[in-house]
Amino acid sequence: MISVIICSAKEQDLVKAKENISQTIGVAHEVIAFDNSDGKKGICEVYNAGGKLAKFDILCFMHEDIEMITPEWGKQMVSLFADNPNIGLAGVAGGGYKSITPSGWYNYDIENNGGAYSNILQGYKRDGLPETHDYNNPNNESFSKVACVDGCWLCARKTVWQEFPFDELLLKKFHGYDLDFSLSVNLKYDVVVTFEVLLRHFSEGNYDHKWFEEMLKVHEKWSYYLPVDADKVIKGDLAFNEKRAFRRFLQNCVNEGISRLTLIRVIWNAKPSRFMGLNMVLKLCFALLKMEKKTPVPRINDQLLY
């Protein structure tokens, strides 16, 4: 019933993941794993290769540093898709609003942001912080519709993946695939966060310069479509909020040494958005040219400061 697809970097992690899946999934399944320890293939290419080999109707794309906690979680996913034919993609963390301003699945620098939805035991191997249970279910639902989901664990109908495969031509590394896939699926189907499945993710994301570069590619591709407001909370002040968020983003980037020429291109590439327009583009460029480098204020789990 479920084909689990894994892009593997560490054999010992893969062995543990396979054993855990077998013990917890509760339905007929297969694990399609690719040894990518040399990092020569991007995750989009690997995931598409796995999708082509899959024999079941539900595809689960997951990291190998994950421990599934919910017993028989596979039955939950089979029921979710069977009972809700318009759901195309499900995750365990996601954002109700995706801004024009470059970011990951959640927009830390925008006011009136929409909801953050999650049910995940998040570890911080890199930062050395204690594990947290990130549970955010503001509407007390079994699942919530969102704009995009985090890529540590993704479940999709195989037919949806066939219609909207991962963009391996654009994204050749290990970032941005979740945001891009979410926005693709959102064109036609619902993207949701499920609260019926709990997992442990042992490591946090790595928001470095490679992540930044891939995010810019995704935002350039989808600028005509952004913002996406699944929560329907952003009203007439959207342009004001986005302008203020974009200014914060630009200041953060200046603080981190990103060149102004690069940032002018980022602003210009956002122009196709229905909420940007030439006037906002010019204002943001002018504001950028006046910005001075300041000492960044560190923030936990910040997806803009890398």
pLDDT per residue as tens digits for the range 196-245: 999 999 887 666 788 889 999 999 999 999 989 888 766 656 777 788 88
Residue type, 44: C
Q: Report how far apart the first and last C-alpha atoms of the chain are (Å, whole number).
A: 39
pTM across the whole model: 0.90
Cβ(284)–Cβ(267) under 8 Å? yes
* Residue 303 in this model has a pLDDT that exceeds 70: no
CATH number for domain 2-224, candidates 3.30.70.3270, 3.90.550.10, 3.40.462.10, 1.10.10.60: 3.90.550.10
Structure tokens at 75: 């039955």
CA 207 to CA 9: how far, in whole Å? 18
Instruction: Give residue limits of the domains in the chain.
Output: 2-224
Q: For residue 302, is pLDDT > 70?
A: no
pLDDT band of residue 114 (cuts 50, 70, 90) is: low
CA pair distance 6, 35, nearest whole angstrom: 9
- In this predicted structure, what is the pLDDT of residue 235? 60
- pLDDT value of residue 278: 87
pLDDT per residue over 84-105, tens digit each? 999 999 999 999 989 888 988 8
Does residue 188 carry a pLDDT above 50?
Answer: yes
pLDDT band at 270 (very low <50, low <70, confident <90, very high): very high
